[in-house]
Amino acid sequence: MKSHIFAIDTHFVKSLWITVLFLSCSCVFSQNYPNKPVKLIVPFAPGGGADIVARAISQPIAQLLGQAVVIENKPGGGGTLAADYVAKSAPDGYTLLYTTPGPQMTNPYLMDKLPYNPVTDLTPISQVVFGASVLVINKNLPVNSIKELIAYAKSNPGKISFASSGIGSSSHLAGELFKSRAGIDIFHVPYRGTGLALQDLIGGNISMAIDALGAYRSSIESGHLKVLGVATSKRLGVLPSVPAIAEELPGFEGSPVTYISVRSGTPKAIIDRLNRDVNQVLKIPEVRTQLMTLGLIPQGNSSEEMQQLIRSESSKWQQVIERSGAKAE
């Protein structure tokens, strides 16, 4: 009996020692972070919206960290290739993901299988921006408000088309959300990118779109398109006279959320350090002005708040995707 008890005690002491050693090493490792350049993985090609934002914040983050932040573009799979790369990286805070809605919020419902677990493999650091989207229409469509657009669509079922930059894109899902919330019959026309959609929208081949303000701003300002609403919960400071769609459809919010995440298992001290630095950068007036000029709303938060936002956004888009039957190509 005594030897049995002694064996149990020895095992307990050994386990306790290993735990203490692990925590001590983790603490020392976290205190030394960072001691080499940090990679920020962008899931799209250079020059796109995600890439522009990542580059806008990378230099001031690097200054706070005291180490270079290197942008690495890994396009493909609607963000899944980049997400998988980060999900399989070392949990040491040196490989970050500039995360768009795809990897954790929409792709799990658009794709039959992902090469990583979207719930357990990535941990958010902080939100970065809301990519403010606007509802724009061809200037010859005989409506001048969201209310008139909905009434017109109900009087002309199946005749209103909405463009997107591709199946499963934020612009596609925002259009499906509007269709569902408004209770109207409009049909989706996917394009390979916003540029082609914009041409057909101006040309009158497409009726409407809900997409990034940055993509449509010049066409709005030139009068080639009419803007009826913004897909954020409140009006935008850069478009103060344009109502939020939510003023007509309470609760409507169709603008994509972007954030920075890291492989799960990264020490909390490192996540906290990165969270503090990202939030500090998003308060810099020059950074805020640059992002808001692009039609983006800088907005940081805590890791825990971002995790909750991921859950709520995932639930919202899951319903939209299942209702529409959308599947990634």
pLDDT of residue 251: 94
pLDDT of res. 42 = 96
Confidence band of 31 (pLDDT split at 50, 70, 90): confident
Query: What's the mean per-residue pLDDT of the chain?
Result: 90
Q: Enumerate the β-bridge partners of residue 168.
A: none
Residue written as tokens 């806008």? 56
Tell me how far apart the 2 most distant CA atoms of the chain are, in Å. Answer: 91
pLDDT in tens, 99-145: 999 999 999 999 999 999 999 999 999 999 988 899 999 999 999 99
Instruction: Supply the pLDDT for residue 149.
Output: 98
Which residue's structure tokens are 């609403």?
229
Answer yes or no: is pLDDT of 15 > 80. no
**pLDDT for 237:** 85
- Least reliable range by pLDDT among 45-59, 141-155, 307-321: 45-59
Would you say residue 287 has pLDDT above 90? yes
3-state secondary structure of 161: strand
Q: What is the pLDDT of residues 295-312, one digit of tens each?
A: 888 999 999 999 999 999
**Which pLDDT tens digit goes with each residue over 224-258?**
999 999 999 999 888 999 999 999 999 999 999 99
Q: Is residue 12 very low, low, confident or very high in pLDDT (cuts 50, 70, 90)? A: very low
Residues 6+ apart with CB under 8 A from 322: 109
Report the CATH fold assignment for 133-247. D-Maltodextrin-Binding Protein; domain 2 (3.40.190)
**Interval 276-301 mean pLDDT:** 94
Does 3.90.1150.10 match the CATH number of domain 34-129+257-324?
no
Q: What is the pLDDT of residue 6?
A: 38
More confident residue, 253 or 328: 253
Tokens encoding 196:
């082609």
| Spatial distance between the Cα atoms of 133 and 263, rounded to a whole number of angstroms | 29
Q: Which amino acid is at 199?
A: Q
Q: Quick one: average pLDDT of 253-279?
A: 97
pLDDT for residue 194:
85
- Asked if the model's pLDDT at residue 187 lies above 60, the reply is yes
Quickly tell me which residue has 């799960």 as its tokens.
264
- Residue 1 in this model has a pLDDT that exceeds 80: no
Least confident stretch, 21-35, 146-160, 240-254: 21-35
Helix extents (H) in the chain: 2-31, 49-65, 80-87, 101, 107-110, 146-155, 170-182, 194-203, 213-221, 268-281, 285-293, 303-324
For the chain, residues classed under CATH 3.40.190.150 are 34-129+257-324
Q: What residue ranges of the chain are covered by domains with CATH 3.40.190.10? A: 133-247
